[in-house]
Structure 1
Amino acid sequence: MPGPLKVATPVDGDTYAGILQFYAEHMQFLDERAAQEWADGFTEDGVFEQNVKPEPWRGRSVIAERMRAGMERLAGRDVQRRHWFGMVACDRRSDDTVVTRYYAQVIETPRGGPATTYLSTTGEDVLVLRDGRWRIRYRLITHDAT
């Protein structure tokens, strides 16, 4: 778990832009219901934790499997979700990981209906650079109003 930043250094502009690009692609996979491609954004031993779930999801294959099941449930509701990340802060740690903190909203639009905010959260990720690509080692999503 990332926890509060202690000794951290803001990332440079190129790194920041690369992380924002990673998040844009990562969330678009989720919105397109491409569970495996979305899960590929995690390291093999990555962890996805939410304050509303009893146990974190551990390992890329488990993360993909559980997200795929969630997408199948959503498919029966005939809605489109869009994930938005903003206010992204990125700090490099001494072990060369990058800790990010951000706000996230999930907007849901039913066919023929108005868009509404389905969910509002904060997120914290620990990112690592692997073979020139950012990957999530650890993600904590904290749902607002919980």
Structure 2
Amino acid sequence: MDAAAVERFYARHMHLLDGGAATAWARTFTADASFASPSMTEPVRGRDGIEAGARAAVAGRAAAGEVHRHWVTMTTVRPAADGAEAVSYVEILATPRGGAPRIELSCVMRDRLVRRDGELLVAERVVTRDDRPHG
């Protein structure tokens, strides 16, 4: 799996999330994907749970009157038996209506990517935040 394909995948993936397309964004995960983040008490398992979380995040941003942009950078890609392992830095830029943008979070995103029917999908995601201890 080449790095350029992974970069194109993340560009589309984050445009969907930031654009509020929760269903389409969730479809960029495998049906049995897992998603773990420090903001969750337990990893979310399955596309339906991932979609529900995305819908809640979209609604929260709308209620707060903010636009969020996920900037995926410094991605490294390593081949794996069933696809690739990708590690990226992610900054979330939050811009309130009429206000100045600010960096909301700085994170590391570790994904296991697989190819299904010619498409890249996230099978497993683990996010760690730079402002919290890693365990």
Cα deviations by residue, 1:43-76 (Å, 9 ceiling, x for unpaired): 0000110133210110001100121012112211
- Residue 54 (1) aligns with residue 26 (2): no
In structure 2, what is the equivalent of residue 90 of structure 1? 77
Structure 1 stretches of 4+ with a deviation exceeding 3 A read none
Structure 2: how far apart are the matches of 1:51 and 1:68? 18
Matches within 5 A, 1:36-55: 36-55=23-42
For residue 106 of structure 1, report the CA deviation from its aligned partner: 0.3
Contact 1:52–1:143 under 8 Å retained in 2: no
Larger Rg: 1
**Partner residue of 1:120 out of 102, 106, 112:** 106
**Partner residue of 2:121 out of 135, 140, 145:** 135
Q: What is the identity percentage for the equivalent residue pairs of Structure 1 and Structure 2? A: 36
Which segments of 5 or more consecutive residues in structure 2 lack a partner in the other structure?
none
Which segments of 5 or more consecutive residues in structure 1 lack a partner in the other structure?
1-10
Cα deviations by residue, 1:78-118 (Å, 9 ceiling, x for unpaired): 1111110000000002x232000110000011111111000
Aligned length: 132
Structure 1: how far apart are the matches of 2:114 and 2:66? 33
Cα deviations by residue, 1:15-36 (Å, 9 ceiling, x for unpaired): 2111100000000011101111
Tell me how large the CA RMSD over aligned residues is.
1.0
Deviates more, 1:134-143 or 1:73-82: 73-82
Which of 1 and 2 has higher RCO (CA within 8 Å, sep 6+)? 1
TM-score, with length taken from structure 2? 0.94
